[in-house]
Amino acid sequence: MAFSKCGDRTTGADGAKLAVVSDDDQLCPDRSTAVRSRAKSTLLPVFAKRPIASIEPIDVRRFMAEKQAAGQAAKSLHKLCLVLRQVLETGAASGAIKSNPCDGLRLPKAVQMEPTFLSADQVEALARATRPPMTCWCVW
């Protein structure tokens, strides 16, 4: 995400008016499509129209709690928090906010799943159910 000079938003230390923007030209031009998508679909609907200085730590905690209650996985929450933290860090670095509201945020730990391996019988069943050319990938 990026900040842009715009209407009556919070004034930064340099006198520029700052706000989170959503247009594709300025939204994460150097970030991956997944980051842009995550920002546009989850962060912008909640935070885009708010002055950056009005975002408090309680707002961030509430937002993350709502996402967790809606069933978002811990790893997804961490990725979402990373994007929001980077945006707010830009605001802190420019002087628009005193500190990053994401600082001190506690998120659930991501659980590492053990890989599941197919037995020889399961591989054979998969090979029988698969059509060529994929059959060669099942049994070699």
Q: Using one digit for the tens of pLDDT, what is the confidence trace for 28-59?
A: 444 567 777 777 888 888 888 888 889 999 99
In Å, what is the CA distance from 22 to each residue of 3, 48, 139? Answer: 9, 7, 48
3-state SS assignment for residue 3: strand
* pTM reported for the whole predicted model: 0.59
Top pLDDT among 100 and 3 is at 100
Q: For tokens 């994460």, name the residue.
A: 28
In Å, what is the CA distance from 65 to each residue of 37, 60, 100, 110, 119? Answer: 20, 9, 18, 15, 40
Range of the domain at 135: 113-140
Residue-wise pLDDT for 73-123, tens only, equals 999 899 889 889 988 898 889 888 899 999 999 998 888 888 999 898 998
Co-location of 118 and 102 in the same domain: no
In total, how many domains does the chain have?
Answer: 2
Co-location of 122 and 100 in the same domain: no
Amino acid at residue number 10: T
Co-location of 80 and 136 in the same domain: no
- ∠43-68-24 over CA atoms, to 5°? 15
